[in-house]
Structure 1
Amino acid sequence: MKAFCSWSGGKDSCLACYRAMREGLEVCCLLNMLSEDGSRARSHGLRAEVLMAQSEAVGIPMIQRAASWESYEGEFKRAVLALKEEGIEAGVFGDIDLIEHREWIERVCRELGVKPVLPLWGSDREEVMEELISAGFEAVVVAVRKDALGPEWLGRGIDDRFVDELRGKGIDLCGEEGEYHTLVIDGPIFSRRLVIERAEIVDRGEVTFLDITGFKLETKG
């Protein structure tokens, strides 16, 4: 079955895509929603061109759609309807247990006539992080909520020590409440590695971001 993956560039959407592919789905497209001006990802604040480079590194084409929060659902539906015309029958999503997200996904997919696939749904947080690390994914922190983590966490890689420190702070290991967001730069579904060359720390309200301004793709092996 051909599917698209709802893509943020972070660990959950990437791991969901990985699981879906291992379960036999043919992920043909990554669907990424941008801010209204089309410059940044609506979810993680990453520059659109960084995510496009990540798509090249993975080797799966990406469709990006700009939207305000008010027009988000309509733009998302239009993008999926266009994909349906190309034979897409399912959508892969990286949600773990936020019920309001699942309800939205199931309603929208039902209205569009595509099958919702949530490979991470109901997974234990510890197991998700363990699988991410043991499978060989490399992810770095690109956003932190100020009331949860300080700017010193930006740029940190996801590893066992990272998980231990989150556990010690009593923070959701997967950051499901927006405590932190990540960018995956390498892993088993990547044909090339995304290398961050330049970045700066930027404050935007309640969240501090790592604004990646320089990057390149590197051949693996």
Structure 2
Amino acid sequence: MNKYQGRKFVASYSGGKDSILAIYRAIKLGMKPVTLIITYNIDMERSWFHGIPGDLLNEVSASLGIPIKLIKTSAKDYATNFEMELKIQKENGAEVCVFGDIDLEEHLQWCTARCDEAGIEAFFPLWQEDRKALVKEFIDNGFTANISVVDTDRLSKKHLGMTLSPETVASITSEGADACGENGEYHTFVSDGPLFRTPVSFCYGDMVKNGQYAILPIKKN
């Protein structure tokens, strides 16, 4: 038996492929999900970074069969509110917090510090694995992800709305961007796969620009 077998976990969920793959791996290890937590921008009324609206997150939660808790926060109180929610989840029985980070040391340190403050263990199932191999694993396992945000300084906006596939990954890497988007080249929304009971239906709004970022807003169908 591995040391994580049977342990209850909360996961730092973004809506994107890496956090979903980390959750998938944790469950395959025999861990038990308590709640998924996601930071929610109170000014934009969407999740931080991936821009998922609350009503669509409700659809994701229903399909996954796992509660999703919004951490409603401004940028100023982001770390404090994250720690507060971890403490609440610990009281609810979570022993471990699962993160989808791969190899950015500053992310590891930030997440670990938040968990240390809350008295909960940080676990990084994807840590220091090959980025391209992780994308392949995600696709091969049958997950569906669409690109919703592109950093146009690093990747052309033609990739907006594309479903992540071997062909899409080849297009991304042909432009010199990272296959996994770990440097922020792109963000995804995962709507289907082995963790989902049914596909999550969604649609797009009109493309918007925010600095160098091109965003295809996702919303409930």
Superposition TM-score, scaled by structure 1 size:
0.93
- For 2:3, the equivalent position in structure 1 comes to none
Check if 1:108 corresponds to 2:138: no
Any idea what the Cα deviations from partners look like across 1:162-213, whole Å, max 9, x if unmatched?
1111221111111111110000010000011012234321112221111123
Any idea what the Cα deviations from partners look like across 1:110-169, whole Å, max 9, x if unmatched?
221111110010010121011001100000000001212233211100001011112211
Check if 1:189 corresponds to 2:188: no
Check if 1:93 corresponds to 2:99: yes
Give the conservation status (yes or no) of the 8 Å contact 1:38–1:48.
no
- For 2:134, the equivalent position in structure 1 comes to 128
Any idea what the Cα deviations from partners look like across 1:30-52, whole Å, max 9, x if unmatched?
10001133611112122222222
Gap runs ≥5 in structure 2: 1-6
Pick the aligned partner of 1:172 from 170, 174, 178.
178
Give the conservation status (yes or no) of the 8 Å contact 1:6–1:13.
yes
Q: Are residues 146 and 198 of structure 1, via their aligned partners in 2, closer, same or farther at CA, if it must alter by over 3 Å?
A: closer
Give the conservation status (yes or no) of the 8 Å contact 1:33–1:64.
yes
Mapping 1:1-221, distance limit 5 Å: 1-37=7-43, 39-215=45-221
In 2: Cα distance, 1:127 partner to 1:113 partner: 32
SS at match of 1:13: helix
In 1: Cα distance, 2:175 partner to 2:9 partner: 37
Aligned residues, how many?
215
- List structure 1 runs of 4+ shifted beyond 3 angstroms: none
Q: Are residues 103 and 198 of structure 1, via their aligned partners in 2, closer, same or farther at CA, if it must alter by over 3 Å?
A: closer
CA RMSD of aligned residues (A): 1.3
Q: Which has the higher strand share?
A: 1
Report the more deviating stretch, 197-206 or 79-88: 197-206
In 1: Cα distance, 2:164 partner to 2:213 partner: 19
Give the aligned residue type for 2:212: E
Any idea what the Cα deviations from partners look like across 1:90-109, whole Å, max 9, x if unmatched?
10000000100101111221
Gap runs ≥5 in structure 1: 216-221
SS at match of 2:82: helix
Give the conservation status (yes or no) of the 8 Å contact 1:140–1:157.
yes
In 1: Cα distance, 2:33 partner to 2:220 partner: 28
In 2: Cα distance, 1:98 partner to 1:48 partner: 28
Q: Are residues 145 and 14 of structure 1, via their aligned partners in 2, closer, same or farther at CA, if it must alter by over 3 Å?
A: same
How far the C-alpha of 1:24 sits from its partner, in A, is: 1.3
Give the conservation status (yes or no) of the 8 Å contact 2:204–2:216.
no
Give the conservation status (yes or no) of the 8 Å contact 2:144–2:163.
yes
SS at match of 1:184: strand
- What is the percent sequence identity of the aligned residues? 37
Q: Are residues 214 and 52 of structure 1, via their aligned partners in 2, closer, same or farther at CA, if it must alter by over 3 Å?
A: closer
Give the aligned residue type for 2:81: E
Give the conservation status (yes or no) of the 8 Å contact 1:200–1:212.
no
SS at match of 1:203: strand
How far the C-alpha of 1:68 sits from its partner, in A, is: 1.5
Give the aligned residue type for 2:192: D
